[in-house]
Chains A and B, each alone.
Chain A
Amino acid sequence: MQQVFKIPDSLKKNTEYTFCPGCGHGVAVRLLCQAIDDFNLRENAICMVGVGCTAFLYHFLDIDALECPHGRATAEGTGVKRINPDKFVFTYQGDGDYAAIGMTESMYAGIRGENLTTICVNNTNYGMTGGQMGPTTLIGQVTTTTPYGRDEKLNGYPVKIAEQVAQYKGTAFSARVSLDSVPNIIKAQAAIKKACEVQIKKLGYGFVEILSPCPTNWKMTPEQANEHIRENMMKEYPLGVFKDVTGEMK
């Protein structure tokens, strides 16, 4: 009998997963590990782990990993990559880690065209600390620090990360994908592979923003959370490939 589905080699077996039920992180991590397996990168990869719900990633990946201070993953990845140019170096971060506290370091990974890959999980809040307003929180969204909804007069506007990353000349690939449905998960897998491929080919910075459900902090069922992504998040954060220097993905 032919095996058509298995746990990626890059994922640890018999480990405890700490993500909440219905959370998108588990799917995102699996897609990333599948891409690493597909390119046969496990033994050559070093992971930069962000702070937040991503912080226990080194318990899930069977890949060498460095825990980075909040927001500094792309800077630490730069340090690793500059003296190990043939290693596969990637960062796994949330939207707050990447686009609030770490915005400067994140921007400069693209500006310098570092050969790094970043997976940025956007769930429009600080999940680990219990759902506060983050850089991508939608206008009107209720969080524990915007109890009356995000008001642009007080809190400014949501950050469109993937579009911004695409603007840097040093960026080789930037896309936004979603985990709300199977067809979109398949597209997400392709984008993650492309963000890895541009690093392997030393074309520059590879970036994928993943719209991801956070049922616990959104106070929704997993199904409602996926519906929320389709109905509300995608209006602010349209899916698509914003830059691909290989010209292969639309």
Chain B
Amino acid sequence: MKQELIKGNIAIAQSAFDAGCDSYFGYPITPQTEIGEYLSRIMPKNNRAYVCCESEIASINMCIGAAASGGHPMTSSASCAIALMQEGLSYACAQELPIVIASVMRAGPGLGNIYPSQADYNQAVKGGGNGDYHIIVLAPSNVQECINFTHKAFYLAQKYRNPVFILADGLLGQMMEPASFIEHPYEKIDNSSWVLTGAKGRSSKFIRSLSEKEAQHNEHVYKLFEKYKKIEENEVMYDENFTDDADLIVVSFGSLSRNVKAAVKEARRQGLKVGSFTPKTLYPFPTQRLRELSRRTKKFIVAEMNMGQMINDVIVATRCEDVRHIGRPAGNWLDIDEIIGEIKTTLGDVYAASI
């Protein structure tokens, strides 16, 4: 397939268009602004909706309106501005609306910094809105995955009637590398049973999150969690290398996983029994697979560009006592030597203990 040099943000924007995104609502924020700029050039020209919103609160609520009335909306943003969308995201989950949100992480808390970071793992995976809910979170590691996962995000959103995050980071958003655009590989989902179209030839219907009675509310949330169970059973994605005989597995996600894989490969070359594990879906998290791996492997390092967020999910999955974290809040990615250094320190303990 023909490859071209593509920037991560542009990969997401063009792929959203190719996946059938019919409406984009957004507000500028570094490091993802190219997504909105790019789509502003092609959406109106192709008779698709594009609104320069007054805020991210407006963006997510316009997405809700579009999704409820049969659209395939997307918004994109970053960190402190994704924070503004949390109310709408909780509503969108409660009302079961298909919305794609590209979140290109920068440093936080607060205004933080425009340097790339992975400090919004909890924001995306655990959520900041009220109530019991889950958002599907896809974490690309390279520009080709930005393309593939954007197509997948539109499909999963419609399939499960649920918001889907594409959780990238500033490094991936701003980086150019060879990749290929693809045709949308998924079937179209029929949404005619639930979308609002005007009550032509039928009685009216409504989409809401409010329940007047306790039992009604519980029934609704149980129904949501039956759906989440299906998502957890069917949609987990991960990538693993050298895990079969590993004494130590390094877990990482997103663009940092590339340095981790390179470090693990080099450690193997030096004779160290180490593997790498990369969740591609952060929700649903590959809990089962990590648990299986933890039957043999007793030591894990979680490498992430934050102060320790995904590590909590790895601890729950592996139930291992020795799960270590390496990371820092933002800026320069952990390099291969730093990761190998941590691998050696940790494995040193293993070998010392076995003597």
* Interface residues in chain A, defined as those with a beta carbon under 8 Å from any beta carbon in chain B: 12, 42-46, 48-49, 55, 58, 61-69, 72, 75-84, 87-88, 104-105, 107-108, 112
Contact = CB atoms under 8 A, between A and B. Distances in A.
Interface stretch (B112-120, B199-207, B243-251, B305-313): B199-207
A63 B201 CA distance: 11
A42 B57 contact: no
B69 A80 contact: yes
B205 A64 contact: yes
A52 to B, nearest CB: 12
A108 B197 CA distance: 24
Contact of A77 (B54, B65, B71): B65
A79 B198 contact: no
Nearest to A114: B51
A79 B196 contact: no
Contacts of B203: 62
B207 A69 contact: no
A79 B91 contact: no
A67 B69 contact: no
B63 A87 contact: no
Given A68-B61, A75-B57, A80 B196 contact: yes
Interface in B55-84: 55, 57-58, 61-71, 73
Nearest to B64: A76
A6 B247 CA distance: 79
B262 to A, nearest CB: 43
Given A72-B61, A79-B61, A104 B55 contact: yes
B25 interface: yes
A132 to B, nearest CB: 20
Contacts, number: 136
B163 to A, nearest CB: 14
B198 A83 contact: no
Nearest to B202: A43
A37 to B, nearest CB: 13
Contacts of A72: 57-58, 61, 64, 88
A100 to B, nearest CB: 14
Interface in B177-235: 196-201, 203-210
B105 to A, nearest CB: 25
Contact of B69 (A46, A62, A105, A107): A46
A83 B21 CA distance: 11
A108 B54 contact: yes
Contact of B199 (A55, A63, A76, A107): A63
Question: Could you say which of B49, B64, B204 has the most chain A C-beta atoms within 10 Å of its C-beta?
Answer: B204
Nearest to B67: A79
Contacts of B63: 79
A87 B51 contact: no
A84 B64 CA distance: 14
B207 A67 contact: yes
8 contacts: A49-B206, A65-B207, A66-B196, A79-B61, A82-B66, A87-B198, A104-B58, A108-B54
Contact of B49 (A55, A69, A83): A83
Given A65-B206, A67-B210, A79 B69 contact: yes
A82 B201 contact: no
Contacts of A76: 61-62, 64-65, 68
Contacts of A43: 198-201
Contacts of B65: 48, 66, 75-81
Contacts of A68: 61, 64
B70 A83 contact: yes
Nearest to B88: A69
Given A43-B201, A63-B199, 15 more contacts: A42-B199, A43-B198, A48-B65, A58-B204, A63-B204, A64-B196, A66-B64, A66-B65, A66-B196, A68-B61, A69-B91, A75-B58, A75-B61, A75-B65, A84-B70
B68 A80 contact: yes
A112 B25 CA distance: 14
B87 interface: yes
User: Which residue of B25, B199, B209 has the most chain A CB atoms within 10 A of its CB atom?
Assistant: B199
Contacts of B49: 82-83
A213 to B, nearest CB: 25
Given A61-B204, A69-B91, A105 B196 contact: no
A181 B199 CA distance: 33
Contacts of B204: 12, 58, 61-65
A83 B73 CA distance: 10
Contacts of B73: 79, 83
Contacts of B200: 43-44
A120 B207 CA distance: 21
A142 to B, nearest CB: 30
Contacts of A78: 51, 58, 62, 65
B346 interface: no
A104 B61 contact: no
B234 to A, nearest CB: 29
Contacts of B51: 78, 82, 112
